[in-house]
Homo-oligomer: A and B are copies of this chain.
Amino acid sequence: MNIGLDVMGGDFAPLEAIKGVRRFFENHPDTAVHLTLVGDTEKVQPHLSLVDTWKDKYTFVHATQIIEMDEHPTKAFKEKPDSSIAVGFGLLARKKIDAFIGAGNTGAMLVGAMYSVKTIEGVLRPTIASFVPRENGSFNLLLDVGINADCKPEHLVQFAQLGTMYMERVMGMSRPRVSLLNIGEEEGKGNILAQATYPMLQQATHINFIGNTEGRDIFLDKADIFVCEGFVGNIILKMAESVYHIFKEQRGVQDDFLDQFNYELYGGTPILGINAAVMIGHGISSALAFENMIVNVERIVQTELISAMQQEFTS
């Protein structure tokens, strides 16, 4: 398996990305994963000594350009064909790599994914999903978390199906409980979207719909999958991150469950519904986050999630 990594992506690139690569190889000495690191040789070279021990386990691919965090995604992706993001997606589209990971400009990562590997036939809109910590030690899946601000019921139903396949195959969960994130427990509660989506989720195939959940349930063992519009999911995700930032990083609160709010544990956010395994990292991705992204994306490839999704939606 060959996993591509944009080492120029993220606020602390390329150092943290390279350190993440080292962590991955250190902690997985017998891995069958070969990494393809994409970046600007001049900027990356000084740090490559960190991974010298594993030089037969990675390939370096030079990319002369970088898409900065504040650039317009579509414009930058088109105007910088030799950026690390564009080069990475080029490799992915040509199947030179099996998956691609990047913590750079999120929009450009999305544009690259749509433009190069494209949406799975039958999927209305790809989605991004994020884990949120669950009080009993496990994780819940929240989706969409930001790329689909406005949704229709049929989008939410597909998010439920995509999330279910992800939890089943990649996380090894049996019949994950899907819930509609709402502002009341009973059917009929909520905004127009939620009211219209509820009966469609009840009738949808291949999901285990258990009904509505509320804001208070997000960290509990009440459902495994929380489906919502990207506008709502993104606010929840950033709020959860701020809980960690304020209580752990600023106030030094020591608590096992609080530690689970650390985004680094999840590594990044998979794009679900496209024809390849792509993981988007947080801008502030650390070595640990990069390591976990490699681990997660490896699992997506191993479990053949993409071909399963292609079969599910195309048929």
User: Is A223 interfacial (CB 8 A cutoff)?
Assistant: no
User: Is A171 interfacial (CB 8 A cutoff)?
Assistant: no
Task: Name the 7 nearest CB pairs between A and B, nearest first.
Answer: A215-B238, A215-B235, A149-B191, A215-B239, A183-B234, A216-B238, A216-B242
Q: Which size class do A's interface residues fall under? A: 35 or more
**What residue of chain B has the Cβ atom nearest to residue A192's Cβ?**
B150
Contacting pair A219 B246 (CB below 8 A): yes
A27-35, A49-57, A249-257: which one contacts chain B? A249-257
Which residues of A are in contact with B by a Cβ distance under 8 Å? 135, 146, 149-150, 181, 183, 190-192, 194, 214-220, 229-232, 234-239, 241-243, 245-247, 250-251, 253, 255, 257-258
The answer for the CA separation of A229 and B229 in the assembled complex, in Å, is: 13
Complex interface: chain B residues within 8 A of A181 (CB): 235
**What residue of chain B has the Cβ atom nearest to residue A250's Cβ?**
B135
Contacting pair B243 A243 (CB below 8 A): yes
The answer for the CA separation of A220 and B150 in the assembled complex, in Å, is: 26
Residue pairs across A and B with Cβ atoms less than 8 A apart, 9 shown, are: A149-B192, A183-B231, A215-B234, A216-B238, A219-B242, A231-B232, A236-B239, A247-B258, A251-B257
